Structure 1
C-alpha cells in the first residue's frame, strides 16, 4: 500500500508530522473507521451539521455507505496512527462535476437530511465559480475533512490537504476547491495557500423563505487553489 507520509514536513520543516502518523489512500480496510470518525467530527464540530442535529445512529449508517462509495474514485485519504491503529483524520474528495446522488437511493436519502446545506453549497459554487464551463477531471472538490480531537494542532489537516493537492496534480486536475463552513477550516486552507473566491454570510441566506442558518457565526466560504498557472 502506498504511504503518503510527512508531506507537510517537506513544505515546512518546522512542523513535520510525527513518524507514527501515516497518510494512506482510503480503502476497504479502513472505511468503517473513517466513517465513524467522520460521523463523530461532523455531528459535534461542523456548524451546519450540528444545526441539522442528525440522529447519530442514522448518520453512521449512511456515512458508511457514502465513504465506501468513495473508495473506487481514488481521490480520498485517511490519517492513521500506526501505534494504536486508529484512524485519526480523513479527507473525502470528489470530482466537482460528479454528483453524490448518482450513487443511488441511499445517498439521495442521506442528502435529504441536509437539504438546506446542500442548497447553500450549490449556491456558493455557482456564484463564485464558472462551474458550467468546467469539465470532468478539471476541478477536484474537497468535500469533507476532519481530524480526531486528540490529534489536532499536529498539522494533520494540512498534511491531508497537501496530499490531495499533489494527488490532484498527478491526475491532471487544474484546480482544487473546498467549501469552508467555519473560520477554523478557512484558516487551515489559507495556510495551505488556498485563495478565497467568495463567501455567503449565514445570516443573509434565505432558503424557501426560511433563514435556516440564522444564529451561526460567520459564513460559508469557497476557497480555490490553482494547480496550473493562470493564462
Structure 2
C-alpha cells in the first residue's frame, strides 16, 4: 500500500474507470462511454495526489495497481478543481445530487470543521484480486492515515451491499440510507425501479 502518486495515478484511473463502469450501481446506471470517461478519470485522480489522502494497493510481484481508495476532506468541494471537473461531475448529476442529499439528511455539514472528517469518495479492487482483503486493507490504511493527521471521523457513501459490508467489517456504523427508487429530485425518474440503496457509513477513529 502506498500513497497515490504521479507514478501510479494513470493506472489507478484506468482501474477506477473499469471497476466503476462495470460494477458500481449508479455509474452503471449512467452508462458512460469508457473512452470518454477515462480522460476525465485521469484528471480527477491526478487532482487527488496533492491532497495526500488517497492510496493504491500494488501487486508485490508485478507492481501493478490492484486496488485504490480515493479520499478528500469533507469540507473540500471537488468542483473547485476547475471547469474540467465540473464537466465531469455534470455527467453524473443525479448521483451527485443523491450523495449531497444523503449527507444533508444525516450530517450537519455546516458545523464540520476542516481537518476533522475524512470522506472516502471511491474504493475499488481489481476483479482478479477480490476476496483477498484488499478493500479492508485500504480502509484500515486510510483510518490510520487520517488519525495520524488529526482527523476524528471517516465517512463513506456506500452505493452497494459489498461496499457497505466492507466498511461495516472495519467498525463503521450506518448513519442512514436512501433507497434509490425513492430519490426523485425535481421530479427526476433517473433511479426509478432501481433496487438497493445508498448508505452513509461513519467511523470514529479517535477510539
TM above 0.5, yes or no, is yes
Which of these residues, 193, 204, 213, is aligned with residue 171 of structure 2? 193
Which of these residues, 16, 30, 34, is aligned with residue 52 of structure 1? 30
2:141 matched to which residue of 1?
Answer: 163
Residue 129 in structure 1 maps to residue 107 in structure 2: yes
1:102 matched to which residue of 2?
Answer: 80
Residue 43 in structure 1 maps to residue 11 in structure 2: no
How far 1:212 sits from its partner (Å)? 1.1
1:10 matched to which residue of 2?
Answer: none
1:48-80 deviations in Å (ceiling 9; x for gaps):
000001111111000000000000100000000
Instruction: For structure 2, list consecutive stretches of 5 or more residues without a partner in the other structure.
Output: none
SS of equivalent to 1:220: strand
How far 1:211 sits from its partner (Å)? 2.2
Alignment root-mean-square deviation, CA: 0.8
1:33-54 deviations in Å (ceiling 9; x for gaps):
0000000000000000000011
SS of equivalent to 2:131: coil
1:150 matched to which residue of 2?
Answer: 128
Residue 175 in structure 1 maps to residue 153 in structure 2: yes
1:6 matched to which residue of 2?
Answer: none
CA distance in 2, matches of 1:188, 1:38: 17
Return the TM-score normalized by structure 1: 0.88
CA distance in 1, matches of 2:2, 2:194: 34
1:81 matched to which residue of 2?
Answer: 59
Residue 111 in structure 1 maps to residue 82 in structure 2: no
CA distance in 2, matches of 1:184, 1:75: 22
CA distance in 2, matches of 1:210, 1:65: 29
SS of equivalent to 1:208: helix
Q: What is the number of residues matched between the two proteins?
A: 207
Which of these residues, 177, 184, 190, is aligned with residue 206 of structure 1? 184
CA distance in 2, matches of 1:137, 1:128: 19
CA distance in 1, matches of 2:161, 2:80: 31
SS of equivalent to 2:186: coil
CA distance in 2, matches of 1:128, 1:228: 20
CA distance in 2, matches of 1:214, 1:50: 14
